[in-house]
Chains A and B, each alone.
Chain A
Amino acid sequence: MSESTGLEQAYRRLLACYPRSFRQENGAEIIAVLLATARAGQRRPGIAESVDLIKGAARMRMGLSRSPRPVLYAVRLMYLGALAELGVLITVVLTEGSIRAAVLQRNPQVTTGQLGYLKTIFTVDIVGSCIGIAVWILLAWANGRGYGVARIVAIVVCAISGVLLLGDVADGTALYAPAALIAGGVMWLIGLAATVLLLQKQSWAYFSRQAAPTPG
């Protein structure tokens, strides 16, 4: 196998990280450029160019390559929301045992049924956080690609979350767990900021363009 063939195959393996449609349209051309910029006698891709290609592929996979700046920031905020939700999930899982112990210590007469109810609350929280992470990631991915439905869903989810949060504050439920209120408030603010960005003029133009039928 010649050096250039081996190098070309290594570049092709890296390009496999890119979405298929992008590879089909640009793959041959990128390979030509990579080979043209390779050093004489180079046998494998350098670390910096490998990182550069993987970074580019990740941006495309996450739908961050073609979107205008407001959509780009909105998508980043949504991934941040997923991270925050993950933080909540980890906190719930890690503190379950200590909360159960605290309840038992304060009230040794607690019934099995009450402990079962506590377990149910934790389970609901964990499942809710998992769903929340999935929703954040899905909305980030779909909005980055300019799917109009995803933008509508993001706005609706933000509105519903806001109403639920205000409801919890109004009836005092949220005040029993300040940490949960703060976490919920932070995530809602992240969602609100992302929604505002999705409603910017540039975002409207992007979503309209993506919805337009492709010529041919």
Chain B
Amino acid sequence: MQEATFLILTALADGSQHGYGIISEVTEISGGRVRLRAGTLYTALDRLRADGLIEVDREEVVDNRLRRYYRLTQEGGNRLAAEAARLQANANAALKRLNPSLGVI
């Protein structure tokens, strides 16, 4: 799973978000390292919807502008959990192997 996909799914893990909300959440989750642009975001959202990992939760009109909220599907939640576990296992393995005497950790 690509990092942008992982971060978008993570942004939706604790509730539905609209496009701008996802961009803000991803920036926050990544500590400002990843700043999604609209083209990248909507290409990813289109793909995630097609894969059944997210779905539209609801739509609102705010200041005459459409705001569409997205949420994780059950399958999306499962995939995110599996990917998070995989990343955590890899990180744990790396940290365990690093020699503390080198002063790395």
Query: What total count of A-B pairs have CB within 8 Å?
Result: 63
Which A residues are in CB contact (< 8 Å) with B75? none
A119 located at the interface, meaning its Cβ lies under 8 Å from any Cβ of chain B in the complex: no
Which B residues are in CB contact (< 8 Å) with A53? 37-39
A96 located at the interface, meaning its Cβ lies under 8 Å from any Cβ of chain B in the complex: no
A168 located at the interface, meaning its Cβ lies under 8 Å from any Cβ of chain B in the complex: no
Given A28-B65, A32-B65, A59 contacting B43 (CB threshold 8 A): yes
Instruction: Please provide the chain B residues from 67 to 100 with a CB less than 8 Å away from any CB of chain A in the complex.
Output: 67-68
Task: Check if A30 sits within 8 Å of B19, measured CB to CB.
Answer: yes
B104 located at the interface, meaning its Cβ lies under 8 Å from any Cβ of chain A in the complex: no
CB nearest to B52 among chain A residues? A209
Task: Check if B39 sits within 8 Å of A52, measured CB to CB.
Answer: yes
Task: Check if A36 sits within 8 Å of B46, measured CB to CB.
Answer: no
Q: How many residues of B contact A (CB 8 A)?
A: 18
Task: Check if A34 sits within 8 Å of B38, measured CB to CB.
Answer: yes
Instruction: Please provide the chain B residues from 18 to 43 with a CB less than 8 Å away from any CB of chain A in the complex.
Output: 19-20, 23, 37-43
Given A34-B38, A49-B37, A52-B37, A29 contacting B19 (CB threshold 8 A): yes
B66 located at the interface, meaning its Cβ lies under 8 Å from any Cβ of chain A in the complex: yes
Task: Check if A49 sits within 8 Å of B47, measured CB to CB.
Answer: no
A167 located at the interface, meaning its Cβ lies under 8 Å from any Cβ of chain B in the complex: no
Task: Check if B40 sits within 8 Å of A56, measured CB to CB.
Answer: yes
Which A residues are in CB contact (< 8 Å) with B19? 29-30, 32-33
Which A residues are in CB contact (< 8 Å) with B67? 29, 32
Q: How many residues of A contact B (CB 8 A)?
A: 26
Which A residues are in CB contact (< 8 Å) with B20? 32-33, 36-37
A65 located at the interface, meaning its Cβ lies under 8 Å from any Cβ of chain B in the complex: yes
Task: Check if B46 sits within 8 Å of A22, measured CB to CB.
Answer: yes
Task: Check if B37 sits within 8 Å of A65, measured CB to CB.
Answer: no
Instruction: Please provide the chain B residues from 42 to 63 with a CB less than 8 Å away from any CB of chain A in the complex.
Output: 42-43, 46-47, 50-51
Task: Check if A30 sits within 8 Å of B38, measured CB to CB.
Answer: yes
CB nearest to A35 among chain B residues? B65
For A1-39 the 0/1 string (1 means CB < 8 A from B) is: 000000000000000000000100010111111111100
A22 to B38, CA, bound (A): 14
16 residue pairs from A and B, CB less than 8 Å apart: A22-B46, A32-B65, A32-B66, A32-B67, A33-B19, A33-B41, A36-B20, A37-B20, A48-B37, A49-B38, A53-B37, A53-B38, A54-B39, A56-B40, A57-B39, A66-B47
